[in-house]
Each structure stands twice: as C-alpha cells, then as structure tokens.
Amino acid sequence: MQQYSHSVGGVTFSSSCKNSVESGS
C-alpha cells in the first residue's frame, strides 16, 4: 500500500492507494 502526503503553499494533499485528494484552503 503506497501512502504519501505533501504540503504545498498552505495546502495539504494526501493520497493513499486511491485517486482521492484532500485540499484544505
């Protein structure tokens, strides 16, 4: 299971084995 999370600017993108992307403004 591949899991990665990276924060860009002030937005945190987290994806885990899926095409789901969470963006927090």
25 vs 15: CA distance, rounded Å: 17
* For residue 1, pLDDT beyond 50: no
Which residues are registered as beta bridge partners of 4?
A: 15
Mean pLDDT of 7-23: 62
Q: How many angstroms from the chain centroid is the CA of residue 5? A: 5
Question: What's the rounded Cα separation, in Å, for the pair 17 and 25?
Answer: 23
Tell me which DSSP letter residue 5 carries. Answer: E
pTM, entire model = 0.26
pLDDT above 70 as % of the chain: 20
Distance set, CA 3 to CA 8, 11 (Å): 17, 17
